[in-house]
Structure 1
Amino acid sequence: MSKLKITVFEHNTLRIGDVLSKDKVFEEKHLALLEAFYGTNGLPYYSLIHKGVKFNQYVGVLQLGNLTIEVLPKVDNNEEDEKTWRKLLIEMIWRVGTFTTHAPTSSNLSLKTNAILDVYIAMYLQELKRLVHQGLIKKYRTQEGNTLALKGSLVFSKHIQQNLVHQERFYTRHSVYDEQHLLHQVLYKALKLLKRINVNIALDSEINQLLFSFPEMEDIKVSESTFDKISINRKTASYETALGIAKLLLLNYHPDIRGGSSDVLALLFDMNALWERFVFVTLRKHLKNSHEVREQVKKDFWLSHTETNRSVKMFADIVITEKREESRVFVIDTKWKNLNGKPYPSVEDLRQMYVYHHFYKANKVALVYPSLESKEHKGKYLNSQNDDMCYLIHLGVKDDIANFEKQVVNVVKEWFTVSNSEIHIN
């Protein structure tokens, strides 16, 4: 099968016969790959429809054999700019993830395609090259085997078994100080994976060069528990970025045990969760001196008197508290969706914010949406003794991540300070 790269936006559909470019068409064999990965239990990334698929709110990259699908975010129903959104998505993922130790921004990587997967691969290679250049750390490990000199402790039973006629050898258990340890085994396994999944010819030589210069490691099975065994400390802090990317790649890779023709790599992120995390990380970073910013703040909501006093809890996305004596409280709930021109949100969202207002004793509450331009709307809860308001804040998406962060902070700061009677956002 020839290589095919497709770029779509979230909630878009792909059907057999859709023209992707002047010489590329979405065919039955491409749909068959997506159907096989979907399986009988389904996936959250997309849904199967008649002769095609409909993508959900997950964004990122999905590689199935020689088919690569990039799914980009979408704010409005208008045609979106692929290049701008690809760059912004990569930067947002980087801002909220663990990739902050040594890695430069993706804009510093010279990639012609600038595809999402290519950026991850290039960043990983860049990190490994830096680690090799500075010198890989060594650790002590225990090794058993035959040696020509007696060192460590003699394993007597195995020595008698293996060296009865080789009196010049000793079977010992001894300590070795070298690079052969779990941290490097994981990084090496991820490097070998890149050799298998990379489709960018420009990156091939770098992968081969690193495979030559990186010490060959024992092949290990990797799972979530593997990464739990690795602790990042002062000595290994420089490995954090590389380890984070290796974890992302290895845990989201699904090999085709039948022959490798349909290996799957799914680097897809729930845009609702990514949007919430991005707003939270941005506000926490820029308001840390004046406000306490917390996420997923839990409150008891309902208590059962029959089910052994079981309680039902609620979770507010973001709770912001001023750092002063008479501190005000602000509750934000993020929504990655557009209102399709409506001046009001769903009844369910308004009820949710009304409850937050009272249970969190909030001075203000707001629903926060992405938009092509910044704007606001507010409404009053009727029959409320305190004239409670719910604000709808639309944050204008910027093509530069630094400007977007500044926009988020400035709009929220203005919301803090204005009275309920009037609010204005530029």
Structure 2
Amino acid sequence: MEFRTLTALEHEMLPVGSGESALSAVEAERLASMAQQRPGFCTLGHRSVRLSQFVGLVSLGSGRFLEVLPKVGEHVDPALARGTLLRLLRWAYDLPIFAGGSVGHGLQQRELLDVFVLAYLQALARLVRVGLVRRYGTNEEDLRVIRGRLLLQRQATTHAMRVDRIACRFDELTADNPWNQVLKAALIAARPWARGVESGRLWLEMAAAFDEIPSRRDGLSLHGRLTKDRQVDHYAPALRWAGWILRLLSPDIRQGTNSAPELLFDMNRLFEAAVATRLRQRAGSKGLQLHSQHTGRHLADLMGDPDRKFFRLRPDLVLNAGTEVLAVADTKWSRVDIDRRGRLAPPDAHAYQLNAYAAVYPCNEAVLIYPWHTGLADARETAYQLSAAEGRRPVLRVICADVAAEGLPLHFVADGSSFVHFR
């Protein structure tokens, strides 16, 4: 079977018509149906479908996939955009996506589906090298020699006249458990897409390693029912990949539906999670604490009733040194432009939002974090002095995270900033 991929960028408008670069009417209908389950994914126009900020993969049926890539800057190369997405996934989910740990040129040139399948197979290979989790299970079999306990009732009623069959119940150490069953289900689902020499070789090796584990057709629902177990903590990366593979490729729960199977990520949340993970690791090494999606503070209380709070605030990041708040920050997956003098010019709404945070949180610094792009090559460090709040004059700084680099380095960080530790 031939698998074709239609590559697009977020917010792009796709034509509906004929040709490999267009959606068919049936495919557009499938996307519209999927948008009802994932509001905001796309909107239908006149013979067109406009995408939003979701990126990833969507199955269009008949072996055809829609690959949606992030857009940073004006001129986007699909390979570089693919590398950006893979890099953000690696940081956001703390995943060893590739054996080498980085997003190389070769991987960027491959379609996302190929990369995801290869990453899953590599995660399985790491588990197999360590050893699959085994648990004791109780079996009942008719054997030639006694093993475990003799089942007297079955022996007397079924094998009373036979001496070559002994009904036994015994415990056996086996890899047949729910965690390995989920991994086996994803392995089977990935088989038609294990293209290329490396993926094909790894698939055959993993199929042999999981041979004793029975196949299940309810892999995705079983994945959702897995319980936490400290003994399988090291399974986390492989199980996350397995869940993604099953969502996209599992045939059992998708049959009979008009919705398109998908593996999509909201770029706003993905960028936020990636930046938070990257900064949190560095904060710990500096003795600082970084909190994500901080809650508990409000912009106002009811007149005459200060115990009733309204307009809850939820900044993406709050940087602390013990109990002291050093800075409050928000990540924005959007293009920040520069003015005629080379200053970074965030939208008014973003500045208003950070001003509200700075008025409530007892800190001297509020930070807007955008993705860096080549259009900012001539920009310079930019900071704005906000109005006084409780005797303080907070500073609003605009910085950028370079999503094209492995470590997501920060640009435009002044020496006096609390974020100077993260450059």
TM norm structure 2: 0.80
- Matched residue SS, 1:211: helix
- Matched residue SS, 2:118: helix
Aligned to 1:315: 314
Aligned to 1:338: 335
Q: Is the 8 A contact 2:57 2:264 kept in 1?
A: yes
- Matched residue SS, 1:333: strand
Following superposition, the deviation at residue 95 of structure 1 comes to 1.5
For 2:331, give the aligned amino acid: T
Following superposition, the deviation at residue 94 of structure 1 comes to 0.7
Taking the aligned partners of 1:185 and 1:314, their CA distance within structure 2 comes to 43
Residues 79 and 406 (structure 1), Cα distance of their counterparts in 2 relative to 1, 3 Å cut:
closer
- Which is further off, 29-38 or 57-66? 29-38
Aligned to 1:55: 51
Aligned to 1:421: none
Verify: 1:294 aligned to 2:295, yes or no.
Answer: no
Matches within 5 A, 1:3-402: 3-17=3-17, 24-28=20-24, 31-32=27-28, 34-35=30-31, 37-38=33-34, 41=37, 43-65=39-61, 66-76=63-73, 78-100=74-96, 103-107=99-103, 113-156=109-152, 158-159=154-155, 162-163=158-159, 166=162, 168-198=164-194, 203-220=199-216, 221-223=218-220, 226=223, 229-231=226-228, 233=230, 236=232, 238-253=234-249, 255=251, 264-288=260-284, 289-301=286-298, 313-322=312-321, 327=324, 329-339=326-336, 344-372=345-373, 373=376, 375-382=380-387, 386=391, 388-389=393-394, 391-395=396-400, 397=402, 399-402=404-407
- Matched residue SS, 1:297: coil
Following superposition, the deviation at residue 330 of structure 1 comes to 0.3
For 2:328, give the aligned amino acid: V
Residues 4 and 223 (structure 1), Cα distance of their counterparts in 2 relative to 1, 3 Å cut:
closer
Following superposition, the deviation at residue 90 of structure 1 comes to 0.4
Q: Is the 8 A contact 2:155 2:166 kept in 1?
A: yes
Q: Is the 8 A contact 1:10 1:71 kept in 2?
A: yes
Taking the aligned partners of 1:206 and 1:74, their CA distance within structure 2 comes to 32
For 1:146, give the aligned amino acid: D
For 1:393, give the aligned amino acid: V
Following superposition, the deviation at residue 29 of structure 1 comes to 5.0
Residues 269 and 47 (structure 1), Cα distance of their counterparts in 2 relative to 1, 3 Å cut:
same
Q: Is the 8 A contact 2:35 2:41 kept in 1?
A: no
Equivalent pairs, count: 407
Taking the aligned partners of 1:201 and 1:115, their CA distance within structure 2 comes to 15
Following superposition, the deviation at residue 71 of structure 1 comes to 1.4
Following superposition, the deviation at residue 279 of structure 1 comes to 1.6
Residues 36 and 150 (structure 1), Cα distance of their counterparts in 2 relative to 1, 3 Å cut:
farther
| Superimposed CA distance per residue, residues 35-71 of structure 1 (whole angstroms, 9 cap, x where no aligned partner) | 4652755544322222221111111222333222221
Following superposition, the deviation at residue 391 of structure 1 comes to 2.2
Following superposition, the deviation at residue 136 of structure 1 comes to 3.3
Taking the aligned partners of 2:228 and 2:253, their CA distance within structure 1 comes to 31
Taking the aligned partners of 2:414 and 2:273, their CA distance within structure 1 comes to 15
> Which runs of no fewer than 5 residues in structure 1 stay unpaired?
419-425
Q: Is the 8 A contact 2:371 2:403 kept in 1?
A: no
- Matched residue SS, 1:218: coil
| Superimposed CA distance per residue, residues 244-287 of structure 1 (whole angstroms, 9 cap, x where no aligned partner) | 21122224546376869999542211111111112211211123
Taking the aligned partners of 2:18 and 2:75, their CA distance within structure 1 comes to 17
Following superposition, the deviation at residue 121 of structure 1 comes to 1.2
Aligned to 1:423: none
Residues 311 and 413 (structure 1), Cα distance of their counterparts in 2 relative to 1, 3 Å cut:
same
Following superposition, the deviation at residue 194 of structure 1 comes to 0.2
> Which runs of no fewer than 5 residues in structure 2 stay unpaired?
none
| Superimposed CA distance per residue, residues 368-407 of structure 1 (whole angstroms, 9 cap, x where no aligned partner) | 22231364444344576746345251416353223xx233
Taking the aligned partners of 1:201 and 1:47, their CA distance within structure 2 comes to 39
For 2:350, give the aligned amino acid: D
Aligned to 1:407: 410
Identity score, percent: 23
Q: Is the 8 A contact 2:55 2:69 kept in 1?
A: yes
Residues 240 and 104 (structure 1), Cα distance of their counterparts in 2 relative to 1, 3 Å cut:
farther
Q: Is the 8 A contact 2:332 2:369 kept in 1?
A: yes
Residues 15 and 241 (structure 1), Cα distance of their counterparts in 2 relative to 1, 3 Å cut:
same
